[in-house]
Amino acid sequence: MRNAKALAFSLVALAFLFAGCVSGPQQQATGNCGDKSKKTGPVKIGFLMDTLKEERWQRDKEAVEQHSKEVGANLDVQVANGSDDVQIKQADNMLTQGVDVLIVAPHNGVVAAQIVESAHKQCVPVVSYDRLIMRSEPDLYVSHQVERIGEMQGQYALDHAPKGNYILIGGSKTDNNALILRKGQMNVLQPAVDRGDIKVVSDQYAKEWLASEALRITEDAMTKTNNNIQAVVASNDGTAGGAIQALGPLASKVIVTGQDAALDAVQRIVEGRQSMTIYKPIKPLANAAVDAAMKLARGQKVETADKINNEKIDVPAILLQPMIVDKNNVMDTVIKDGYHKMEDVYKNVPKDQWPKQQ
C-alpha cells in the first residue's frame, strides 16, 4: 500500500516535472508552429523601439544594428516616438512583412501585450527589451537588474544624506522599469522614513521621463520646503538634469541620483552638480538580445538564470549587472570602458584639475 502510494506520488511528480519542461514561455511562440529549428536562411529581426530621446537609446539602436550585422541577421528598426498606436502599427507591419522574431522595447508595457499576442499568432517569438511587457507571454526578457538599480540609488542617497527632506522623482508610469525602480528605492528608504530620519516631501512620477516634469516637481518641492532639500532621488539622468536645473546653485549641496551614465550627467558629476549615476553597459545588453533572438527564431532554447513575473507568467530573464558611478570612479568605469572619452567628460573642467591618466 505504501509502495503503491509512493509510486503514484512519483508519477504525479514526474508529470509535473515534465509539464514544467515543455510548457515554458519560450515554447509558446513555437509550440504549435511546426519545426522552426529547420530555418536555415538569414534571420529577419524586427526591433521596435519606443524612443531615441535619451542618449542610451541611440546606443541601443547602434549596438543592435552592429551585432545583427555581425551575426548575419537582417534587421528592421522602427521607433514609435512615445506613441502606443504607432508602436502597434509598426509591429503589425513587421509581422506582415514576415519577420522571424521581434525585439520590443515597449512604450507602454501593458498595451504592448497585444504585440506579443499578434506575434505569437504568427509563430513569431518576442524578446522584451530593457522594459518588461506585462500581462502576456513574452518568450524572454533581457534587461539589467532594475530593482537593484533602485536600491543602489536609494542607498547612495541615504549614505550621503542620512537625514532630511527627500524628493522622489520616478520615470514614466507606463514603463514598468519606473515602478520597479521605485520599489527598489523604497526597499532602502522606507526604514529611514519609519525611523523619522528622512521625510519624503514630494513623491511623483515624471510623465514620459521628461526633464521638464522633474524641473516642475523639484521647483514645487523647493517652494513647499523653503529650499530645504537634502536629496533628490531621480530615477534617470534626464530627470536628474531637470531637478538640477531647478536646484540651481543648491545642486552642489544636494544629493542627486541618476541612471544611464549619459554624457551630460557624467559631466555634471565631475563638475560636482550631480552626485551619481548608474552605468548600464549597452553593448552586452544588445548582444544578449540579438543572440537570443537568433536562437528563438531558429526554435532553439535560450538558457536563462533569472525570471521575472509580469502579472501573467514568470518570464525567463537575462538580467545584467548595473554599476554605480560617482566622481571617485568615473575614470575606472565609463572612461576606462570607452563609453565616454575623457576629453568629453572633463570638457568644462580646467585642464590642470583633470585626473592623471595611468
Backbone angles phi, psi at 204, to 5 degrees: -140, 175
60 contributes a contact to ligand GAL by CB under 6 A: no
Does the protein bind ligand GAL through residue 54 (CB under 6 A)? yes
Please report whether residue 236 would count as binding ligand GAL according to CB under 6 A.
Answer: yes
Integer CA distances (angstroms), 314 to 24, 138, 190, 271, 294, in order: 9, 10, 27, 43, 22
CB contact burial 307-317 (16+ within 10 A = b; e otherwise): ebebeebebbb
CA distances from 51 to 47, 60, 104 (A): 12, 11, 11
Q: Which has the closest alpha carbon to 167: 92, 211, 112, 222?
A: 222
* Residue from the set 84, 137, 213, 260 that interacts with ligand GAL by CB under 6 A: 260
Binding mask 174-193 for ligand GAL (x = CB under 6 A): -x-x----------------
Number of residues that bind ligand GAL (CB under 6 A): 12
As a whole number of Å, the end-to-end CA separation of the chain is: 75
Using rule CB under 6 A, residue 171 touches ligand GAL: yes
- Choosing from 130, 139, 151, 213, the residue that interacts with ligand GAL (CB under 6 A) is 130
Work out whether 281 is an interface residue with ligand GAL (CB under 6 A).
no
> What is the chain's Cα-based Rg?
23
Establish if 209 lies at the interface with ligand GAL (CB under 6 A). yes
Q: Which residue of the chain is nearest ligand GAL when measured via CB?
A: 177
Helix, coil or strand: residue 278: strand
One of 36, 44, 56, 107 touching ligand GAL (CB under 6 A): 56
**Cα–Cα distance for residue pair 64/45, rounded to 1 Å:** 10
The window from 71-79, 94-102, 170-178, 216-224 that contacts ligand GAL (CB under 6 A) reads: 170-178
Cα–Cα distances in angstroms (integers) from residue 253 to residues 60, 77, 92, 158, 214, in the given order: 33, 42, 50, 14, 18
The distance of closest approach from Cβ of residue 158 to ligand GAL in the complex, given in angstroms and rounded to an integer, is: 22
131 is an interface residue for ligand GAL by CB under 6 A = yes
Segment near ligand GAL (CB under 6 A), from 50-58, 161-169, 220-228, 295-303?
Answer: 50-58
Q: Output DSSP code: residue 20.
A: H
Q: Minimum distance from CB of 201 to ligand GAL (Å)?
A: 24
264 binds ligand GAL (CB under 6 A): no
Instruction: Using the rule CB under 6 A, give the single segment among 8-16, 171-179, 210-218, 296-304 that binds ligand GAL.
Output: 171-179
61 binds ligand GAL (CB under 6 A): no
Which of the 8 DSSP states describes residue 305? Answer: S
At 257, list the grid cell: 541620483
Binding site for ligand GAL (CB under 6 A): 51, 54, 56, 130-131, 171, 175, 177, 209, 236, 259-260
